[in-house]
Structure 1
Amino acid sequence: MTEKTTRVAIVTGGSGGIGRAVAERLAKDGVAVVVHYSGNETRAQDTVKAIEAAGGQATAFGGDVADPDAMAALFRHATDTFGGVDVIAHTAGIMPLAPIAEMDLETFDRIQRTNVRGTFIISQLAARQVRAGGAIINFSTSMTRLQAPAYGPYAASKGAVEAMTLVLARELRGRDITVNTVAPGPTATPLFFEGKSEQVVEHIASLNPMERLGTPEDIAEVTAFVAGPGRWINGQVLYTNGGAA
């Protein structure tokens, strides 16, 4: 049993990309972090080692976000290891892309299972267990506003995430728990680069008024703010995209 710390966070999808940056940024603020992973334990352990090397506390725990038993075990692990749960940063999600006319239903269902059902399960557990003074942060996408072709099924799943998050903020009245959604724009992660040529990436970056892609650290900074000092931000969707939408 590790000695109880001031605050404890669960970061889903914490093995890489935005999730890893969020885990490391929260740890920088002195938060003990449970780094959740779905399939890549090695990368999750790398995140843990990086946090520990910087003087923080972290542990890794795996499981399917759409499996309620696995996620209940994740929350138990956080409580058993660090004493409770104060922050949820639910970054885990999948992003298969195809035009609506072409996407098969199996892929569509897989997107909704991970992104919608997974968010529901994490949000339900968080609503029951996050301590007063805590923060629940789900992740959407600026594509709900940019409305780019091929993003329809993915954006639809994230629209559902936003709706659930905004309702949950109202349902937790009186609990001193904030509930928000961070909605990144195009961000330089392996998930974003997959299947895109260098020319496409450069074009997307050029569309932003800041003339670059976002970085995982950009998103992590906003997440850490609403997880910590940003207590008056509640029931909001934070479009974190450098002005892209």
Structure 2
Amino acid sequence: MATTQPPPNQSQQSQQGTGPQQPAQRIQITPEIAQQMAAKLRQQQQQQQQQQQMSAPPPPVISPSEVDFVEQPVSTKDKRIVAADGASEKLKSVCNDINYLINKLEQHPEYAVPPPPTIMKPTRSQQFTKAKEDGNALFKQGNLDEAIRLFTVAIELAADRPPWESHVLAREELSLALSNRALCYHNKEEYDKSLVDADAVVEIKRPWSKGHFRKGKALIGLNRLQEARDAILLGLDFEPSNDDLKNALTEVDTKILVNHHAKQQTK
């Protein structure tokens, strides 16, 4: 019968020299070690997720105006942006705005980058003031044609301001020069032209009573009395105590009443 011998002790192993090696001792994974390993693994996963979130770009923010965005082709021709055939009017308008800015930048090569709106050359304002004042002097002399020419020069100077300059100043200049030219056309009894200028004044500077007054007077001249009354009443909404508008309202109401009586008599 075979007998089992006890394992050799350390002294015997050292004496045997190069005998067969014992298998490595296994590490016992206690519950504490398992918890530590799980916590370390969770920490590594969290770090990886944080790195991915930091490296990923933020989701795009879509404004309400871009919700219905539809890509449309455009092309360049002679350094201009051209909308494709059949493009929407909005796209054509945007292309016109870009081309206008390109044209202005080409006219001012000294500006590598458009300056702040507070920086404006005084030359244009001086030219505008001179054209306007000379036009006023000619109007008082009764030279309406020459006054119209100078007011037109003033309008062109104001309208041709670079788009990076103050829009407030451009609106002030434009509304004033257009109002003066509308008065010249009215005195020449060219009421249709006077109405065009007056309409532009109202669009540019709506709260200004002078624009509504000019529009009302032009419509009276065209015998469009109800429209004239509406224009005058709109002006009075902005400035109820304006004497010019009050007098114009009395004038148009009188004309409406006279026309009404005339129609009654012809029946």
TM-score by length of 2: 0.20
Larger helix proportion of the pair: 2
Greater RCO (Cα-Cα under 8 Å, separation 6 or more): 1
Greater Rg by CA: 2
